[in-house]
Structure formats: structure tokens, C-alpha cells
Chains A and B, each alone.
Chain A
């Protein structure tokens, strides 16, 4: 597969901001396709962004002081070192969804724990609740799962993500 090439040097030389163009190019990549980027400097901040998106990189200085960077898509596990329970950013996308806003306690808790029993390690559950499930948290921890949650902007719904731990 040929690399997609993007030269942002003209944008940079005109005093422009190439980030939008770069993201446009990244989003248009075919699965497995690499991105070859030309820039007037070594684009350090971009490396972290692209790492988070699952790309490895290789930066090479060109003769005239410009840089060429080759971004290569990585297999997910190689990039992040696997999802770690204490870092919710590294979790997989949720593949179980529960809307529990209409249930009275302790039913939301029962449903979440029952669902977790059927999940494999590393799978993530997303649940929507009417309030912060304070009695649930110790139970989640005791069973070796990890959770992250907060209220939505309006403060009316609590969003909970639970990453299933190793089943005992």
C-alpha cells in the first residue's frame, strides 16, 4: 500500500496552523496505511497526539533543515502496552451498555454486577444511572474490577464505566 503524503511546509511558511489538515489526512487513511508528513521543524507535540491515536513514528531530518516523519499504524496492544485498570484513558471502548436511570436502588447495582460476571477481563461496561452509586463502588473494588465515573454536564445523570477484572 502506498503511503499517504502530506506536505504542510507551505502552510507553515505562510504562518498557518496545519493541525486541521494533518487530522484530515489521518482520518482519511486506509486501514494499515502509513502517513508521510513533511514539516519545517520536528513536530514534537504531534507525536503524542498520534501515539494516542495508535501510531508509531519515525522522524528523519532532511538536507535543508526540514523534517520528514513517517507515521505507522500499530496493533493496539503494541501502542499502549495493553489497557491498564488504573488508567481509564487506556480502556477499550465499552461494548456493554446499561441504562439504569429508571430503577430504584439497589436494582442498578444488581444489574451492573450481574453483567460484570459475564464479561471477560478488559471488557468495559458503560452504565447510565440516576445518581452516584456509592454503595456499588466498594463491591466493584472487592471483586477486582476498576471503575471511573462522573456526572454529566447537567448534573442529572451519572455516567459510569467499569472495566472487568480477572474473573475469580
Chain B
């Protein structure tokens, strides 16, 4: 029931590799603002972040923590490696498809929808595992409700993405192809970044934050308001999608309603998190909870920024807001939680059998906080600088900011790696056998 998910670290490893790749592209000047917002190079960077980094990170975390959320075992757990292979393979084909759009030789355009199909398969399978876990759970607390909405969103986002990819590859034409390419992108992004990643992050963090801060779980009006307005926002997006399907025309009203509902959800959630921090029983904040504050702050800021930029139709503003949302809120929260989750899973793997029988180190002994504190500071400074420079449309400065983030991420990854190797444990433990880095300890693949 509560054992650790064996593939979670493999998901995390692939996710971090994609993060480094995306930041590398940006700092080399191969994406927006050097290229256009919808240019193939930018799309490569965006999908590396949204699918490679954030989606793989979230799925790895959900495989581990959804069973904890609902108090039941993960269903169909054996499919996890196939999910990973499908998503990584699909992402590789998708990126190659974008490269084909960019004029790379030898790559057929059809590779784009083929990648989308693999992604749809991987995400569908993951959603199946997680839904099955939800349906057979003993109880469904509110955080699990957020995850359920998020899983529905990821399926819609993937379907929309596959439709877009097929239209771009010329697999079908006509008015609808024109309409989906012209007006479908905000819906695709809304379902992906808003419905899927943000709602899932809210759901998981509700439980993790109260657990790590030793604070009573949030109940009452505010979390419900967050959930219902998230639901209302998704319903508005669905309406917009339906109208687009039926009439080939966009429905700006639907996006407006979704934006308002999204703002309500974001502020209700941010209020809840503030209450959790205030009601905590652990006075001293560990680094991961301290770093998470920056991520929590980035969410309402980027939400307001996004709505304002959309209202003014400012491309630089949209780019800046999405950058802050993806790297500040989602990515920042992800990195902060990894700083706790990786040592925690490693500790369980190595030391759980010895608990009570002989002395074991504390989880905190697997990390050295002062070192990593500086890297988190560098990371969030890079994110803030990058968003500001995008708004001001200063491409070289954006490159510098992305480079700072890249450096911070590499240094943080080094910390995760050291935790995995038990390298920072006090000297008494240096001879302790180390776990495998990413793959589970076992004989067969499944």
C-alpha cells in the first residue's frame, strides 16, 4: 500500500534532462524572443518544458503520491515503464516534427502527429492507471478531486494537441484545420498548463505542504472554492472548444470566463497555502518549504500578468507571464519538492528496514541545505529576471537569465545526485551500500 513507486525516479531523471535541454536551447538563443512565439524553435522549447520537464515530473510524483492521497495501492502499477517509454518516444518524435517544420532535411511532416499519437497513448495509459487508483480508493479527499480534474484536462490537452499536429502536418485541411491552427492554441495551452499541470500541482501540494509543515489539512470554504472555480474554468474552456468544433469560430467569452474562474481558483488556493504556512506546527522551515514560497508567490503574479497581457493582446506580456508560470510556479515548485522527495525516497529505500533496530540517519542528513539554498536563490532570481526581460523585449538579457537558471538547475541536480548517492551523509555512513540511481532494483523489466 504505502511502498514506494519503483519508477518515480526514472520519471524524475528524464524530466530533469528535458529541463536542462530546454534551458540550454533558451540560453543559446534558439527560442522566443529570438524566434517568433509560434516558431518551430519556440515550440520545441515549450514542449520540452511542458511535456518533458513538467508532465514527466508530475506523473512521477502522482505515481508516488496519489496512493498516499487516497489511501489505496496504485493500480496497474506495472504499466509505469511503458508510460515513460511512450511519452519520451512521443516527445522525441514531436520535437523532430517541429524541427521538420523548421526545414531540417530528411524529416517528414507526418512525424509530428505520429509523436502526438504516442504521447496520447502514454498520457492515456497514465490517466487510466491514476483514474483506476482513484475509483477504487477508500476515500476521496479534496486533493484527489483536483487530481481527477487534472487528469481529464491532460486527456483533452493531448487530444487537442494531436488535432493541431495533424492539421499542421496537413493530414486534414479545410475550414476546421484553419480554425484549430488559428484559434486552438490558447485552448491547448489552457488545458495543458492550467487544467492539467496547475490543478495537479495544487492537489498534490495541498497534501504535501500540510504534511511537511505539520499543519492541519485545509477544510471549509476556501479549498472548495478553489476546486469549483477550477472546474468552472475547465467547463468554460470545454465550451470554447465545442463552439470552435461546431462553428470554426473562436468564443472569446469562453476564454474570458475561464480566465476569471482561473483567477478565483488561484487566489483561493494561494490563500489556503498562506493559512497552511501560518498554521504550521514546525516553526523552522526546511529549505524545500522555504524555496516553495517563491513558487507559490509566482502563481498569483503570473495568473494576473497572463490575464492582463491577454486583455491587451501583448505578445511580450503573454510570453513573460507564461515563462513565470512554467518556470516560477510549476518548475520552481517541482524543484523545491524534488529537494525533499528524492532524499525521502532514497532514505526509505535504504534505511527503512533498519528503523528501530539500529541508528539510522535523519532524512535531512542526506542533504546540505546551505549549499542548495544559494542555488535556489539563483534559480528564482533567474526566473524573475527572465520574465522581466521578456516583458521588456530584451532578447540578450533573456538569454543571460536562462543561462543563470540553467546553471542553478545543474547545481541543484548535482545536489539531487549527491543525495541519491548518499554522498552528503555523515562519515559513519560512507560505507553504506548505495541505491541504483534511477532504475528500480529488480530482475525483470516490468
Provided the pairs A102-B281, A106-B344 are in contact, do residues A138 and B356 lie with their beta carbons within 8 angstroms? no
Task: List CB contacts (< 8 Å) of B1-33 with chain A.
Answer: 1-4
Is B347 a contact partner of A106 (Cβ separation < 8 A)? yes
**Among the listed A110, A116, A134, which residue makes an inter-chain contact with B68, where contact means beta carbons less than 8 Å apart?**
A134
**Among the listed B212, B348, B356, which residue makes an inter-chain contact with A135, where contact means beta carbons less than 8 Å apart?**
B348
Residues of A within 8 A of B186 (CB): none
Whether, in the assembled complex, A90 has its beta carbon less than 8 Å from a beta carbon of chain B, the answer is: no
Q: In the complex, A137→B68 CA distance in Å?
A: 12
Is B1 a contact partner of A134 (Cβ separation < 8 A)? yes
Residues of B within 8 A of A116 (CB): 356
Provided the pairs A106-B347, A135-B3 are in contact, do residues A114 and B356 lie with their beta carbons within 8 angstroms? yes
Whether, in the assembled complex, B304 has its beta carbon less than 8 Å from a beta carbon of chain A, the answer is: no
Whether, in the assembled complex, B282 has its beta carbon less than 8 Å from a beta carbon of chain A, the answer is: yes
Is A110 a contact partner of B211 (Cβ separation < 8 A)? no
Residues of A within 8 A of B212 (CB): 104-105
Which of B67, B68, B347 is the most central at the interface, judged by chain A CB atoms within 10 Å of its CB? B68
Is A110 a contact partner of B360 (Cβ separation < 8 A)? yes
Is A110 a contact partner of B2 (Cβ separation < 8 A)? no
Task: List CB contacts (< 8 Å) of B278-316 with chain A.
Answer: 281-282
Task: List CB contacts (< 8 Å) of B40-93 with chain A.
Answer: 67-68, 71
Which of A109, A115, A133, A135 is the most central at the interface, judged by chain B CB atoms within 10 Å of its CB? A135
Whether, in the assembled complex, B352 has its beta carbon less than 8 Å from a beta carbon of chain A, the answer is: yes
Q: In the complex, A139→B211 CA distance in Å?
A: 20
Chosen A-B contacts, 14 in total, with CB atoms closer than 8 Å, are A104-B211, A104-B212, A104-B282, A105-B211, A105-B344, A115-B356, A117-B357, A130-B214, A130-B216, A133-B2, A134-B2, A138-B1, A138-B2, A138-B3
B contact set with A: CB distance below 8 Å: 1-4, 67-68, 71, 211-214, 216-217, 281-282, 344, 347-348, 352-353, 355-357, 360, 363
A contact set with B: CB distance below 8 Å: 102-106, 109-110, 112-117, 130-139, 142, 156
